[in-house]
Amino acid sequence: MATAESNFRLRNLLLAVLSGVLLTLAFPPGRLSFVAWFALVPLLVCLENRSPARAFILGLVSGLAHYLSLIYWIVVVLGRYGNLNAPIAFLALFLLSLYLSLYLALFACMSGLVRESGFHAVLAACFWVALEYLRGYVLTGFPWCLLGYTQYEQLWLIQISDLAGVYGVSFLIVFANGLIFSMLMRRGPKDAASLRWEIPLFLIFLTGTFIYGNNRLQKEKTGDGNTRVIRAAVVQANIDQSIKWDPAFQTETVRTYQRLTLSAMAFEPGLIVWPETSLPFFFQNSRKFFPEIVFLAERSGAILVFGSPAYKPVDGEIRYFNRAYMITPNTRQIQYYDKTHLVPFGEYVPLKKYIPFIGQLVQAAGDFARGETLAPLKAGSISAGILICFEVVFPELARTLTREGANLLVNITNDAWFGMTSAPYQHLSMAVFRAVENRRPMIRAANTGFSAFIGPEGTILARSSLYTEEVLKRALSLPGPSLTFYTRFGDLFALVLSLVTLFSCLWAGWKRRR
């Protein structure tokens, strides 16, 4: 009997781990996005007849298997570039993965509570979306690789993002997983009755998504006649992270950007974009390079966008910012945007003021301040909503910029921190959704890749390779001022599903107490 019980527990643990691994396989760089549609089934199977406490533990195990294999690149960032020793880097990876796994554990627990409900599959999808939405805000938010991002190449499917955001795609995927589980584990007339409702409901959602997606794709092809065309160039200089901040290499770095920029002049671009911190010094007071960069913009005749650290005195102290500049030729107007959503433990240390020893543990972290204004930079017909690095994973930032008048999204980043891992692929996949949600084209400039042009329907029009010097050139159509439903109303879909989740859990808890 003891052996049978041990085997049963081992089976459940293996099923939980299998779900975690399948979830990871569905994300880039692999091309197995279809795996997402059944990745949760093993987890749901092992939750059958489990108590809420055991369901929570199995969900935690599944989450650890998923996140340890998904964001393993944290070790590369902290070890190679953060100068932390291997044990500390692995500990950081484990703690972050454990935190993220709590959401999957809660999903498992909540799904078990409503297993007897007539709408188990659809409620499971509601729970998943509510927890993804919550993850985007708790502790400043870490909405990295939400489930819907696995489908970034399925253009017909992701068009609903201009209505429901990435959460609409996540909902469909988990709904499908729940249906497969219910069909496999059908236990009697009650389950059969539930399937008679849920299968037609899923087919209605899926058919509606397919029709809407194809209509939107056709509309994007024909255009609305209210567009202007700009010619843009992206410079990917491939500056090695190990020398990037060495003052001895500043001149070489600037010369590389000048050379690559001038190579694009035959294309006659109206806009040129360099990556985040492409100038690894304080551009604002550089006597040597400030006039050179301004002259380069004048010579090119193009609006120049680039990143550089900056500082200014505030209340008697010096504050540092991760800044994007825009130089408009002829007028010599220089605008800037300071990053508003910083990376915790990367660009600042949370609670450092109150818990000083935290700062000593992560001395490699930056000490940047948040920008105060989130608004597009404007020059001529261009109104560029700038998203610096990590900011592109937060839908509300792109929404706000679009509502403030941005007709173009510009993501500048330095993904050299990630090394040759899966992180650059994951980062690019999330940028695609910001373009679709707001129906705005996106220009992405990355120091080592992936630089890209992304159409408003999510098509990656051009993409660089990793760790190469490249100049991408493309003509883009700037849309008119019309706003999508998602841009206007935000995460209304996710909020409604969060309310459904709350009431469902309260109802299930009340029934269990009875």
CATH number of the domain within which 359 lies = 3.60.110.10
Residue 81 is predicted with a pLDDT of: 76
Together in a domain, 291 and 190: no
Residue 360 has pLDDT above 80, yes or no: no
Tell me the C-alpha distance between 208 and 16, whole Å: 32
**Tokens of residue 154, six digits:** 């399925």
**Window from 73-87, 250-264, 281-295, 426-440 with minimum mean pLDDT:** 73-87
Question: Is 259 part of a structural domain of the chain?
Answer: yes
Find the mean pLDDT for residues 260-289.
Answer: 95
Tell me the C-alpha distance between 450 and 413, whole Å: 9
Together in a domain, 207 and 236: no
Together in a domain, 248 and 395: yes
**Tokens of residue 485, six digits:** 């439903």
Together in a domain, 173 and 242: no
The candidate with the shortest Cα–Cα distance to 451, out of 489, 484, 413, is 413
From 276, 347, 391, 457, active-site residue:
276
Residue 276 has pLDDT above 60, yes or no: yes
pLDDT in tens, 161-193: 999 999 999 999 999 999 999 998 876 666 777
Question: Positive or negative, the Cα torsion across 330, 334, 339, 345?
Answer: positive
Using only C-alpha atoms, the chain has a radius of gyration, in whole angstroms, of 24
Question: Is 514 part of a structural domain of the chain?
Answer: no
pTM: 0.94
Question: Is 482 part of a structural domain of the chain?
Answer: no
Tell me the C-alpha distance between 473 and 424, whole Å: 21
CB 413 within 8 A of CB 394: no
Question: Is 335 part of a structural domain of the chain?
Answer: yes
Residue 160 is predicted with a pLDDT of: 98
From 339, 347, 391, 457, active-site residue:
339
Residue 363 has pLDDT above 50, yes or no: no
Mean pLDDT of the chain, nearest integer:
91
Together in a domain, 241 and 385: yes
The number of distinct structural domains making up the chain is 2
Range of the domain at 420: 228-476
Together in a domain, 279 and 383: yes
Tell me the C-alpha distance between 176 and 452, whole Å: 32
Together in a domain, 201 and 327: no
pLDDT in tens, 70-105: 999 999 988 887 778 899 899 999 999 999 999 999
**Window from 39-48, 279-288, 360-369 with minimum mean pLDDT:** 360-369
Residue 97 is predicted with a pLDDT of: 97
* Residue 276 annotated in active site: yes
Residue 61 has pLDDT above 80, yes or no: yes
Residue 104 is predicted with a pLDDT of: 98
Q: Which residue has the higher pLDDT, 9 or 25?
A: 25
Residue 364 is predicted with a pLDDT of: 47
Residue 224 is predicted with a pLDDT of: 64
From 389, 391, 437, 505, active-site residue:
389
Together in a domain, 216 and 237: no
Residue 4 has pLDDT above 70, yes or no: no
Residue 5 has pLDDT above 60, yes or no: yes
